[in-house]
Amino acid sequence: MTQLFFGIKALVLNDEGKFLAVHKTKQASPLLEIPGGRMEFGETIEETLIREMKEETNLVVAPKKILTTWNYMKKTGDFQVAGLIYLVEVENLSSLTLSEEHDSCTWLGFDELNLLVPHFKNALENIECSNLF
């Protein structure tokens, strides 16, 4: 059976212009991703983003603008997630606390995209950084 999901990710920037990257607890690879998750039935895109960010990072966010799209297809071809990456504004970065879903986080510069899983690396390469600040 094939499965298709819609996911929303957040680009959280700090004062140094770096973005938040997280590592999934169950991920054997050292590669990182950006926080967010899958839409639940009945939610709007923005509600999904706000809920997922609170669940995963304890951050209260406000969606600012859609930056780009992303797509992940499992090598077996039976599982796909496609979605959006939003630029978000954060109420208080000091409240950052990871859920059990993630075992670490770090702040990356846009010159460190090679530390991300390929589908997020590819998506963020297309963003015009000068439009973020």
pTM over 0.85: yes
pLDDT at position 128: 77
Instruction: State the Cα–Cα distance between residues 79 and 108, nearest whole angstrom.
Output: 28
pLDDT at position 131: 65
pLDDT at position 124: 94
* Cβ 25 vs Cβ 118: under 8 Å: no
pLDDT at position 1: 82
CATH of the domain at 46: 3.90.79.10
DSSP state of 74: -
Instruction: State the Cα–Cα distance between residues 53 and 113, nearest whole angstrom.
Output: 21
pLDDT at position 107: 98
43, with CB counted inside 10 A (0-12, 13-18, 19+), is: middle
pLDDT per position as a tens digit, 90-104 = 989 999 999 999 999
- Number of structural domains, the chain? 1
pLDDT at position 11: 97
Q: Which residues of the chain have pLDDT under 50?
A: none
Give residue 44's domain range: 3-131
pLDDT at position 46: 96
Long-range contacts (CB closer than 8 Å, 24 or more residues apart) made by 35-40: 35/9, 35/10, 35/102, 36/7, 36/8, 36/9, 36/10, 36/83, 36/85, 37/7, 37/8, 38/5, 38/6, 38/7, 38/8, 38/81, 39/5, 39/6, 39/7, 39/8
